[in-house]
Amino acid sequence: MTPNDIRPPLPPFDAETAAEKARLAEDAWNSRDPERIALAYTPDSKWRNRSEFPIGRREIKEFLTRKWQRELDYRLIKEVWAFNGNRIAVRFAYEWRNAADQWHRSYGNENWEFDDCGQMQVRIASINDLPILESERLFHWPIGRRPDDHPGLSELGL
Cis peptide before 12 (omega within 30 of 0): yes
pLDDT computed for residue 4 by the predictor: 74
Residue 134: count other Cβ atoms within 10 Å of its Cβ: 10
Beta strands in the chain (DSSP E): 41-49, 72-84, 87-97, 103-114, 120-132
What percent of the chain stands above pLDDT 70?
99
pLDDT band for 1, please (50, 70, 90 cuts): low
| Average pLDDT value over all residues in the chain | 97
For the chain, domains (ranges, CATH) are 7-136 (3.10.450.50)
Contact yes or no for 117/6 (Cβ under 8 A): yes
On the question of pLDDT at 83 being above 90, the answer is yes
pLDDT computed for residue 5 by the predictor: 86
Residues sharing a CB contact under 8 Å with residue 85, sequence separation 6 or more, in sequence order: 11, 12, 13
User: What is the average pLDDT across 142-148?
Assistant: 97
User: What is the average pLDDT across 99-127?
Assistant: 98
What percent of the chain stands above pLDDT 90?
97
- Long-range (24+ apart) CB contacts under 8 A made by 140-145 are 141/75, 143/30, 143/32, 143/73, 143/74, 143/75, 144/30, 144/31, 145/27, 145/30, 145/31
User: What is the average pLDDT across 126-136?
Assistant: 98
On the question of pLDDT at 137 being above 70, the answer is yes
Q: What is the pTM of this model?
A: 0.96
Spell 12-44 as b/e; 16+ CB within 10 A means b.
ebeeebbbebbbbbbebbbebebeebbbbbbee
